[in-house]
Amino acid sequence: MRVNRNFCPLSVVGLLSITLTVFLLKGRVSEFGRTADAQQVTTSLQSAADIQPRTEPAANATRDQKLKTNSTVDSAEEELRKLREKRIASPSDRLTIIQLFASKEGQSADDYRFPYERAKLVINSLETRSQHDAFSALSVAAEKAIKTGKADEMLKGLEAESTADFHKLSHGHREWTQIVQALKRNDVTLMTSN
């Protein structure tokens, strides 16, 4: 059988042209389908939004509650940061700073960090009651930490500072052991004698 050599390149070019045309048309059809699907989804979402207004106030209330909680946490965090800076910047004004921590403690009833930081200040004072006052503040802090689910966080802080700020308290004191055990077990009753 004899093949016409002039015919082969033309047929190859023709086949390529047809393939390219089909490929381009398929892409256009596919793009049209995606546009139609997107319009359909948009219409469905709009329909769902029309049905949903009854639940919107509840969603807004939940969102507002989260914003209030976040702003409360942010303001407590900011107050704590400011007080820590004052403690470091002016250690000679210890009594005033202790009073500031105590007042912020009352405003942030669920935040263990304020009595915790107050205990650091109290233990480093030269008063003879400083250990008793520091353990009282730590007991309050531990109770708040346990009630708010932050016992592990406070325990890590105590362990890290047992050789620094709380060195005087962590060696040979029954109260220290009680606070540590209460935090480990999440049991406030272990501190009843403090």
Backbone angles phi and psi of 72, in degrees to 5:
-65, -45
Cα–Cα distance between 89 and 85 in angstroms, integer? 6
Q: How many CA atoms lie within 13 A of 187 on its CB side?
A: 9
Q: What is the pTM of this model?
A: 0.57
Domain boundaries, the chain: 8-50, 78-191
- CA 139 vs. chain centroid, Å, equals 25
pLDDT given for residue 53 in this prediction: 45
Q: State pLDDT tens for residues 138-173.
A: 999 999 999 999 999 999 999 999 998 899 899 889
pLDDT value, residue 156: 96
Give CA–CA dist 38/51, Å, rounded. Answer: 20
134 Cβ contact list (under 8 Å, min separation 6)? 119, 120, 122, 123, 166, 168, 169
Residues of the chain scoring pLDDT < 70: 1-16, 20-74, 84, 86-92, 126, 128, 192-194
Q: Which residue has 């070019």 as its token pair?
A: 13
